[in-house]
Structure 1
Amino acid sequence: MLTFIFYFFIAIVVVQLSYYLGVFGKFAFIKPQNITPKRIPVSVIVCAKNEEENVKKYIPLLAEQNYPDFEIVLIDDASSDETLEVFEEFEQQYPNVRLVKVKNNEAFWGNKKYALTLGIKASKKEYLLFTDANCYPTSKEWITSMTSQFTMNKTIVLGYGGYEKIERSLLNKIIRFETVFTAVQYFSWTKLGFPYMGVGRNLAYKKEEFFNVNGFIEHIQVRSGDDDLFINQAANKNNTTIAYTPESFTYSKPKETYKEWFQQKRRRVSTTQYYKSFDKIQLGLFFISQLFFFILVILLLAFQFQWIAVLAILATRYTVAWTVIGFSAGKLKENDLKIWFPIVEIALIFTQINIFITNIFSKPVYWK
Structure 2
Amino acid sequence: MELNTIETYLLGAFIFCLLVQLYFSLFVHLRLFSFKIDQIQENTLRPVSIIICARNEMANLEKNLPEFLAQDYPAFELIVVNDRSWDGTADLLEDFQKKYDKLKVVTITDGEKFIAGKKFAVTMGIKAASNEWLVFTDADCTPASSNWLKGMQQPINEDTEIILGYSPYLKRRSLLNCIIRLETFFTAVNYLSFALKGMPYMAVGRNMAYKKSLFFKNKGFAAHMHIPSGDDDLFVNANATNRNTEIRIHRDTHVWTEPKTSFIAYLRQKKRHYGAGKLYKTKDRIILSIQFIFQFLFYVFGIALLGFSNTLYLALGIFGFSILYRSLIYTRLLNRLNYGELKWWFPILELIHFLFLTINGIVSIFVKKVQWK
Moved more, 146-155 or 338-347: 146-155
Which of 116, 122, 147 aligns to 2:153? It is 147
Runs of at least 5 residues in structure 1 that lack an aligned partner in the other structure: none
Cα 1:221–1:263 change in 2 (3 A) is same
In structure 2, the residue matched to 1:322 is: 327
User: Is residue 85 from structure 1 mapped to residue 91 from structure 2 by the alignment?
Assistant: yes
Following the alignment from structure 2 to structure 1, what is the Cα–Cα distance between the partners of residues 309 and 21? 23
Cα deviation, 1:272-322, whole Å, max 9, x if unaligned, reads: 100001111111101011111111111112213333333332222222211
Please say if 1:306 is aligned against 2:325. Answer: no
Shift of residue 105, structure 1, vs aligned partner = 6.6
CA distance in 2, matches of 1:17, 1:124: 47
Structure 1 residues 150, 287: CA separation in 2 closer, same or farther (over 3 Å shift)? farther
323-332 or 242-251, which deviates more? 323-332
Aligned to 1:133: 139
> In structure 2, how many angstroms separate the alpha carbons of the residues matched to 1:104 and 1:71?
26
Letter in 2 for 1:235: A
Partners of 2:168 and 2:338 within 8 A in 1: no
Q: Give the length in aligned residue pairs.
A: 367
Q: Counterpart amino acid of 1:145? A: G
Q: Is the 8 A contact 1:149 1:243 kept in 2?
A: no
The equivalent residue for 2:50 is: 44
Cα distance between partner residues in 2 of 1:251 and 1:171: 17
Q: Which residue of 1 aligns with 2:256?
A: 251
1:218-275 deviations in whole A, cap 9, x for unaligned? Answer: 1000111111111111111100010000000011111111221111111111211000
- When the two structures are superposed, what TM-score results if normalisation uses the length of structure 1? 0.96
Tell me which residue corresponds to 2:23: 18
Give the 3 Å change call, closer, same or farther, for CA 346–108 of structure 1 in structure 2.
Answer: farther
The letter of the residue matching 1:359 is S
* Alpha-carbon shift at residue 329 of structure 1 (Å): 1.0
> Which position in structure 2 is the counterpart of 1:60?
66
- Assess if the C-alpha contact under 8 Å between 2:46 and 2:154 holds in 1: no
Identity of counterpart residues, as a percentage? Answer: 38
Q: State the partner residue of 1:8.
A: 13
Q: Is 1:203 aligned with 2:199?
A: no
Counterpart of 1:359 in structure 2 is: 364
> What is the one-letter code of the residue matched to 1:16?
Q
Pairwise CA distance, 1:149: 4.3
Which of 181, 199, 209 is 1:176 aligned to?
Answer: 181
Q: For 2:322 and 2:34, locate their aligned partners in 1 and report how far apart those are by CA, in whole Å.
A: 18
**TM-score scaled by length of structure 2:** 0.95
Alignment-mate amino acid for residue 165 of structure 1: K
Return the alpha-carbon distance in structure 1 between the equivalents of residues 333 and 111 of structure 2. Answer: 43
Give the letter aligned to residue 227 of structure 1: D
Write the letter of the residue equivalent to 1:297.
Answer: G
Greater displacement, 49-58 / 264-273: 264-273
Partner of 1:274, secondary structure, is coil
* TM-align CA RMSD: 1.5
Q: Partner amino acid for 1:85?
A: D
CA–CA separation in structure 1 for the residues paired with 2:116 and 2:139: 16
**Match for residue 262 of structure 1 among 251, 263, 267:** 267
Q: Distance in 2 between matches of 1:143 and 1:317?
A: 39
Runs of 4+ aligned structure 1 residues displaced above 3 Å come to: 104-109
Asked if the contact 1:150–1:156 (Cα under 8 Å) also holds between the matched residues in 2, the reply is no
Q: Do residues 163 (structure 1) and 160 (structure 2) align?
A: no
Q: What residue in structure 1 maps to residue 293 of structure 2?
A: 288
User: More displaced, 313-322 or 121-130?
Assistant: 313-322
Q: Distance in 2 between matches of 1:207 and 1:148?
A: 11
Cα deviation for residue 106 of structure 1 reads: 7.1
Native 8 Å contact 1:36 1:148 kept in 2: no
Residue 194 of structure 1 pairs with residue 199 of structure 2: yes
- Rounded Cα–Cα distance in structure 1 between residues aligned with 2:240 and 2:176: 32
CA distance in 2, matches of 1:358, 1:314: 28
- Following the alignment from structure 1 to structure 2, what is the Cα–Cα distance between the partners of residues 66 and 244? 18
Does the 8 A contact of 1:45 with 1:129 survive in 2? yes
CA distance in 2, matches of 1:360, 1:150: 44
Q: Residues 70-95 of structure 1, C-alpha deviation per residue, up to 9 Å, x if partnerless? A: 00011100111111111111122111
Aligned to 1:273: 278
The amino acid that maps onto 1:69 is A
Does residue 97 in structure 1 map to residue 103 in structure 2?
yes
Matched residue of 1:151: which SS?
Answer: coil
Tell me which of 112, 115, 124 is aligned to 2:121.
115
Structure 2 distance, partners of 1:311, 1:62, is 50
Displacement of 1:148 in angstroms is 6.4
Over 3 Å counting, the alpha-carbon distance change for 1:115 and 1:174 in structure 2 is same
Distance 1:107 1:193 in 2: 40
Q: CA deviation at 1:198?
A: 0.4
